[in-house]
Homo-oligomer: A and B are copies of this chain.
Amino acid sequence: MSEIEARFAALEARIAGLEDQLAIYQLIATYGPSVDSRTGSVTTSLWAEDGVYDFGRDPLVGAEKVGSLVNIEPHIHYVADGCAHVLSMPYVTVDGDTAVATGYSRVYLNQGDHWRVERASANRWELVRTPEGWRVRNRINRLLNGQPEARELLSNGVKGKA
């Protein structure tokens, strides 16, 4: 490989790393708007075809199933009353064609003149690179209500930093 080719390859690798991180931000930033508007087709599009959403009991298996969560209770009533599913800026680690993003979600629910924080959860997004871009292989969501699983999820996501 020529010297110039090596310079290009080095820059391309750095750019690709930045693109991965921002593409994962974009994916996660799409989730809330898709569910709060009950646009299930967009929710579905974020998951790999056989991807999973595990929120602590009976995980939803398959992208179609995940997207259909916008059509079940209590979600229908949350949206009718007014709700916001807000995802925090996550910590992201990319390893080849897989990635993990660790962060928080909160559900704000309208109560007339204010909003109640109905849920605050730890989130682990296990992602896979596909020909169409990054997709969710498994999203694991645990309420931060004192359960050890939620703490382990957060700790596992960032422990490589130390």
Contacts and interface: CB of A to CB of B under 8 A. Distances in A.
Interface of A: 4, 7-8, 11-12, 14-15, 18-19, 21-22, 25-26, 28-30, 32-34, 36-39, 41-42, 44-46, 79-84, 86-92, 102-104, 106, 108, 110, 114-122, 143-147, 150-152, 154-155, 157-159, 161-162
Given A12-B11, A120-B84, A150-B82, A161 B110 contact: no
Given A11-B15, A12-B11, A120-B115, A110 B33 contact: no
6 contacts: A7-B8, A29-B92, A38-B151, A42-B162, A45-B162, A84-B121
B30 A161 contact: yes
A12 to B, nearest CB: 7
A58 to B, nearest CB: 21
Indicate how many identical chains form the complex: 3
Contact of A82 (B14, B143, B152): B143
A16 B94 CA distance: 18
Contacts of A18: 15, 18-19, 22
A44 B118 CA distance: 32
Contacts of A150: 82
A104 B29 CA distance: 10
Nearest to A110: B145
B103 A36 contact: no
Given A26-B92, A39-B154, A84-B122, 17 more contacts: A8-B11, A15-B15, A15-B18, A28-B89, A33-B91, A33-B157, A36-B154, A37-B158, A42-B155, A81-B145, A82-B120, A82-B145, A84-B144, A86-B106, A88-B89, A108-B117, A110-B146
